[in-house]
Amino acid sequence: MTSETASVPLARERRRSAIRLPRVGLHLFLIVVAILWLAPVIWALYTSLRPYSETAEKGYVSLPDTITLDNYTNAWNQGEIPHYFLNSLLVTLPALVITLFFAACVAFVVSRLSFRFNAILLIVFLAANLLPPQVVIPPLYRMYLEIPLPTFMSETGKMYDSLWGLIAINVAFQTGFCAFVLSNYMKTIPQSLGDAARVDGAGVVRQFFGIILPLCRPALAALATLQFTWVYNDFLWAVALIQSGEKRPITSALNNLQGVFFTDNNLIAAGAMLAALPTLIVFAVLQRHFISGLTLGASKG
Amino acid sequence: MSGIRLDDVTKRYPNGVRAVDDVTLDIADGEFMVLVGPSGCGKTTLLRSIAGLEDVTAGTIWIGDTDVTEKTPQQRDIAMVFQNYALYPHMTVADNLAYGLKLRRMPKGERDARVRDIAGKLGLDELLGRKPSALSGGQRQRVAMGRAIVREPKAFLMDEPLSNLDAKLRVSMRAELARLHERLGVTTVYVTHDQVEAMTLGERVAVMRDGVLQQVDTPQNLFNRPRNLFVAAFIGSPAMNLIEAKIDGGRVRFAGIDLPLPGGSPLAGQERRVILGLRPSDFEHAAGADPDWPRIRVKPDVVEQLGSETLLIFGVDAPPVMADAVRAAAEAYSDDDGRLFAGEERAMFTASVDGKRPLGSGEVELAVDFTALHCFDPETGDALAVRRDAQPVA
C-alpha cells in the first residue's frame, strides 16, 4: 500500500518532466515563427506612424521622436482611398456571393445526387485550380478584348477594363476550390437527411435551399472569409485586365501613391495598412464561424 | 390508409449484387409487418424501395390501389422514420414537425394546430422551440415519430428506429410503438435485425436472407414451424440447437442419444440423414416433466441463472452443423448466441429450464419434448414434416 502511494506522485513527476522539454522547444519554435510572420506587418505599422522627414534623417531602423497619423490622412485624401475601397467592394462582394453559390450548386450535385459524371466533374474543377493564373493572362487578355458587353456595363463595350470582367475571372478561378471544399463538407451531412426531406415532399431544389445549404453555413462562412481575403487581395487580375487607373481595386491602386521620381514609403505603408484593414475586420467578425467550420466535421452533435 | 403490395420486386446494383431478389409480399391495410434478417440481407433496401428512395430493377410496388413503382417519394404519401432519426439540425422541433406539412402547402393555422396536437400527444410541448441538438436520444426519437405521424400518411416505414436507444429505453419504446400502432391502425413496415423486436412487434414477420424472402408468417408460426434451417436458426433466443442426426426405425439418433419421433410421423418409415433442431425451451427438468418424454443426462459446461429461467449449456459428442444457413443466422447474433456455433469440435446445446427448481452440481437429467422436434434436409435446408398434423409450410 505504502509503496503504491509513494510511486504515484513519482510517476506523475516523471511524466511531467518528460513532457516539459519538447513542450518548451515547441513553444520556442512557435514564438519564432509568429515573430517572423508579424515582423513585416509590425514594421509597416511602425513606419506608417512616423513622419517622412524623421525617417529620411534617422533611417527606418531608429527610435521615434514623433508618432503621427498624418500619413493616414494624407493617404486617405491624396490616394482617394475611399474610391478604391468602393471598387474593391464592388468586385469582391459579388465575386464572393456568385462563387459560393456556383460552388454550392456544383458541390450539391457532386456529393448528394448520383450523377454519372460526378467524379469527372470534380476532377475538372480541381484541375483548373492547379493551373497557374499567369499562364492564361495572354489568351485571356485577347478574349477580354473580343467579348462585347453592353455599354451600361462597360464604357468601352468590352469585357476588358470593366469590373464585370474582374468579377468573372475571380469567380472562374475560385469556384473550383470552393466546390471541392463544399462537396467534402456536404458528404459529411448524413444521406438520411436528404432522404427524410424527399419523403417529406422536398424536390431537389428544396433539398438544396431548405436543408443542405443552411447546414453548410459553417463551411460557407469559412470559405467566405478565405475568399474575401483572396479576391480582395488580388493584384494580378486587376493589373492585367483593368486599364483605367480609377477602376482599379485598392490593392493595385496603392500604386497611385507612388510618385514618378520620389516615393514616400511612410505614406505607402499607411496606405497598405488601410488596405489591409477590411480583411482583418472580416476575419475578426467571421472568426467564430471559421473555427467552428474547422472543427464541425469532427463531432456530430 | 392502404395496404402495400410488392410484386416480384428485384433490386440489382450496377455491380451485379442482387440486394432484393424477386420479392412478392402482400401487406394488408393496417397491418404491422416486420422485415427481419441479418445485416446485408436486403431488408433496408426493400424498405427504401417502398419509400421510393431506391429505384427497383424489376417488379411493381402498389400502395393502396396505385402503382407507385415509378413515383417519387413525395408522390407516394408515406412517412419514414430513420435509424439516426434524420431530424433537420437547423430547425426547431416545431419546424421539424411542420416541414412536411409546409411542403404540402397546408395553411399555417391548420399546420400549427396539427403540430400542437401531435406535440401534446407525444409530450413534446415543452420542446417545440428547441433544436434537435438540445434533445436527449429518447426525445429525438419521439420527434422523429411525431414527424411521421403528423403527416397522416398512408403508411409508416421504419428503419431500425429503436437501435440507437439504450437497452432499457428500447424495451419501453417497443411497447409504445405497439400501442401507437394499435391506436392509429396505419399500415406499418418495420425493419430490424433484432428478432426479439420482430417477434414482439410484428403481426406478421418477413424473414429475409441474401435478398430472398425466406418465410412470411406470424411470430408463433415462425417459431414453431420454421420453413427452413435459416429461419429456424435465426428466430428464437437462445437459438435453436441444431445437430446432424440419423433417422432409423422411427427414432432420431445423434451423439449417443436417441429420441423417438412423434407418433405417426411421416418420417418414421424412412431411413435418412437429417439436421435435427431442438428449441432450448423444449427441454425440461426430468422431475416433474411429462413421463412420456425421453430423458437425457447431461453435464452442463455453463449454467446461466437468469431468474425465471436457467440456461444450461452443454456439449454434445458430435460436430456442430456448419451449413451456410446456420452460419449466416449465427453471424447476425455473434454477440449473444455465437457460442452455440463457436465450438469447432463439439456442438454446444442450450437448454432453458425452470429457474425456480434448484440444480444439483454435476450431471443433470433433462426431459426432451420429442413432439416438438424439427427436422431439416441436410442438403437443401428445407424443413421436413415431422408431425402428422403439421405439414411444413411449403
DSSP codes, B86-147: ---TTS-HHHHHHHHHHHTT--HHHHHHHHHHHHHHTT-GGGTTS-GGGS-HHHHHHHHHHH
Q: What is the pLDDT of residues A67-103, one digit of tens each?
A: 889 989 988 888 888 899 999 999 999 999 999 999 9
Long-range CB contacts for residues B177-184, cutoff 8 Å, separation at least 24 = B177/B201, B178/B32, B180/B145, B180/B149, B181/B32, B184/B149
Give the integer Cα–Cα distance in Å for A169 and B81.
Answer: 46
| Spatial CA neighbour of A166 closest among A222, A250, A100, A83 | A250
- Fill in the DSSP letter of residue B37: -
Within 8 A of A193 by CB-CB distance, chain B residues are 86, 88-89
CA distances from B319 to B260, B315, B340 (A): 21, 10, 12
pLDDT of B213: 95
Percent of chain B with pLDDT over 90: 60
Residue B212 pairs in a beta bridge with: B209
The answer, yes or no, to whether residue B112 has pLDDT greater than 70, is: yes
pLDDT of B282: 93
Q: What is the pLDDT of residues B181-239, one digit of tens each?
A: 999 999 999 999 988 899 999 999 999 999 999 999 999 999 999 999 999 999 988 88
pLDDT of A293: 56
| Interface residue of B76, B81, B82, B83 to substitute, partner A, most A CBs within 10 Å | B82
Of B53, B99, B133, nearest to A200 by CB-CB distance is: B99
Give the integer Cα–Cα distance in Å for B350 and B278.
Answer: 9
Within 8 A of B78 by CB-CB distance, chain A residues are 199
Q: Give the least confident one: A7-21, A146-160, B251-265.
A: A7-21
| Interface residue of A113, A114, A199 to substitute, partner B, most B CBs within 10 Å | A199
Q: Is B103 on the interface with A (CB under 8 A)?
A: yes
The dihedrals phi and psi of B96, each to the nearest 5 degrees, come to -60, -45
Per-residue pLDDT, averaged over B288-316, amounts to 89
pLDDT band at B393 (very low <50, low <70, confident <90, very high): very low
C-alpha cell at B119: 406535440
Q: Is A139 on the interface with B (CB under 8 A)?
A: no
Q: Is A190 on the interface with B (CB under 8 A)?
A: yes
Residue B298 pairs in a beta bridge with: B364
- Is B86 in Cβ contact with A196 (below 8 Å)? yes
pLDDT of B392: 44
Give the integer Cα–Cα distance in Å for B116 and B124.
Answer: 9
pLDDT of A1: 41
The answer, yes or no, to whether residue B84 has pLDDT greater than 60, is: yes
Query: What is the average pLDDT score of chain B?
Result: 88
The C-alpha R_g of chain B, in whole angstroms, comes to 24
The answer, yes or no, to whether residue B135 has pLDDT greater than 60, is: yes
Give the integer Cα–Cα distance in Å for B106 and B98.
Answer: 9
Strands B78-81 and B155-159: parallel
- Is A301 in Cβ contact with B89 (below 8 Å)? yes
C-alpha cell at A213: 445549404
pLDDT band at A132 (very low <50, low <70, confident <90, very high): confident
- The helix (H) or strand (E) run that includes residue B200 is helix B195-201
Q: CA neighbours within 13 Å on the CB side: how many for B74?
A: 17
C-alpha cell at B129: 422551440
Per-residue pLDDT, averaged over B26-35, amounts to 95
Percent of chain B with pLDDT over 70: 94
**Vertex A169: Cα angle to A166 and A170 (nearest 5):** 85
Give the integer Cα–Cα distance in Å for B372 and B387.
Answer: 8
- Is B86 in Cβ contact with A193 (below 8 Å)? yes
Q: Which amino acid is at A113?
A: L
In our burial notation (b when 16+ CB lie closer than 10 A, e otherwise), range B97-118 reads bbbbbbbeebeeeebeebbeeb
pLDDT of B119: 92
The answer, yes or no, to whether residue B40 has pLDDT greater than 70, is: yes
- Is B73 in Cβ contact with A198 (below 8 Å)? yes
Name the residue with higher pLDDT: A114 or B128.
B128
Q: What is the pLDDT of residues A242-301, one digit of tens each?
A: 888 788 888 888 877 777 677 888 888 999 999 988 888 888 887 776 666 555 444 333
CA distances from B362 to A167, B311, B314 (A): 88, 15, 12
Q: Which residue has the cell 407525444?
A: B122
- Which of 26-55 (B) contact A at CB < 8 A? 48, 51-53
pLDDT of A62: 86
pLDDT of A248: 87
pLDDT of A300: 39
Name the residue with higher pLDDT: A291 or A141.
A141
Distance from CA of B208 to the nearest CA of A (A): 23
Within 8 A of B52 by CB-CB distance, chain A residues are 198-199
Q: What is the pLDDT of residues A205-228, one digit of tens each?
A: 999 999 999 999 888 888 888 888
pLDDT of B108: 94
Q: What is the pLDDT of residues B3-23, one digit of tens each?
A: 999 999 999 998 989 999 999
pTM here is: 0.79
Q: What is the pLDDT of residues A153-184, one digit of tens each?
A: 888 888 898 999 999 999 998 898 888 889 88
C-alpha cell at B145: 415519430
pLDDT of B352: 93
Of A200, A206, A301, nearest to B133 by CB-CB distance is: A301
Q: Give the least confident one: A84-88, B167-171, B202-206, B337-341.
A: B337-341
The answer, yes or no, to whether residue B92 has pLDDT greater than 70, is: yes
Of B88, B104, B133, nearest to A211 by CB-CB distance is: B88
- Is B89 in Cβ contact with A199 (below 8 Å)? no
Q: What is the pLDDT of residues A10-59, one digit of tens each?
A: 555 555 555 688 889 999 999 999 999 999 999 999 999 999 888 888 88
